Structure 1
């Protein structure tokens, strides 16, 4: 299994300390204020809130609902409808394995199984150090290059199970990204 929680930093690295709850709350209030009166402003507010917190905890959903004059269930309905919102903390690296038809028939399931084994987590899970999260996607629009994996915003083409260790190793080592990639 990859990584153990670091004792010295919440994210397991040597980065600057996390902002305080008060700082995050003030930023969230700014987000709500800047989006609340714009048509369709709820989704951008949720996106910005998720960027602040890394996910959308219940308290944030409640605060946004209050700020927009909506019920918690209305806001939660939007959050759960769109796959890019999450109610749980995600890792720094979001690994999404395509299981659309082309990727599935060309070995996408085996690639997914290799990531599950290498990272020691199930689909929807996050490593204890919050470095990796694993999800399944349905068609990334690169069917001719199947099977496809996205790690954050980078698309990896024709991924074989044997390459999974290399991809994870490059991330852990901070190495440059492989040559065979496309940006989404």
Structure 2
């Protein structure tokens, strides 16, 4: 099964000297991210900031982007590298415009994921872990993506395409080549066999009505438009504001 390298390998567009900086729009997002945490816990924003950097860079994380995140949150770069190498959601090497993660875990395998894998490899001329020469597609086999009810499936970028067959897989690939991937369904995924979400052949049989959320307790966060992170412990009953503020400092 394919996987990323554990250590950094210099390439012409990914060295310690490569330039990276966030856009003004993304700096606004960074400020919103950091506002969720006390000033002495800025490192808590590393994961969402890495995701932001990866999206800006086109689906992968150059070394310079990780260094920039480390500088913003005030930690040693190694602390950011540790996060980026631990989570498989971060790509430290370039991937195609359509990054396909094919689930090969038992439910998908039993339902035909090996056939889907062979279909993708034969149709695109690539193997697991490779990218097409035109830079459009990258294929990577991964472990469970949590869509077992609609196996076999792939995650392509942020979207799930489920209930695949070799025929619908080729149709999906050809649509992507034209720049017109099928739009997502109502529930944020697209079973390629015409069904809606995880509904069976009889359609929806449960949760017919919209569920009602429980009411917020009186005097809780509902009365605040924006909660100061420093006061969270007070609302949770851990002490007075003065005590928690002193500890935070």
Q: Do both share a fold (TM > 0.5)? A: yes
Does 1:114 find its partner at 2:119? yes
**What residue number does 2:71 align with?**
66
The higher-RCO structure (CA 8 Å, 6+ apart) is 1
Equivalents in 1 of 2:179, 2:112: separation in Å? Answer: 27
Equivalents in 1 of 2:180, 2:46: separation in Å? Answer: 38
How far did 1:179 drift? 6.5
Equivalent residues, number: 162
- Once the two structures are superposed, residues 132-164 of structure 1 have per-residue CA deviations (whole angstroms, 9 ceiling, x without a partner) of 111223223332322122223333333223433
- Contact kept in structure 1, 2:95 and 2:135, CA below 8 Å: yes
1:27 to 19, 23, 28: 23
**What residue number does 1:42 align with?**
46
Matched residue of 1:42: which SS? helix
CA 1:147–1:25 in structure 2 vs 1: closer, same or farther (change >3 Å)?
A: same
CA 1:179–1:75 in structure 2 vs 1: closer, same or farther (change >3 Å)?
A: same
Equivalents in 2 of 1:139, 1:51: separation in Å? Answer: 23
Matched residue of 1:136: which SS? strand
Runs of 5+ consecutive residues of structure 2 not aligned to the other structure: 1-17, 38-43, 183-191, 198-249
Matched residue of 1:171: which SS? helix
Matched residue of 1:76: which SS? helix
Equivalents in 2 of 1:25, 1:166: separation in Å? Answer: 38
- Once the two structures are superposed, residues 39-58 of structure 1 have per-residue CA deviations (whole angstroms, 9 ceiling, x without a partner) of 32111111111111121111
- Contact kept in structure 1, 2:163 and 2:193, CA below 8 Å: no
CA 1:114–1:77 in structure 2 vs 1: closer, same or farther (change >3 Å)?
A: same
Deviates more, 1:110-119 or 1:71-80: 110-119
**What residue number does 1:51 align with?**
55
Larger radius of gyration: 2
Deviates more, 1:50-59 or 1:135-144: 135-144
What is the root-mean-square deviation in Å for CA atoms of aligned residues?
A: 2.9
- Contact kept in structure 1, 2:103 and 2:143, CA below 8 Å: yes
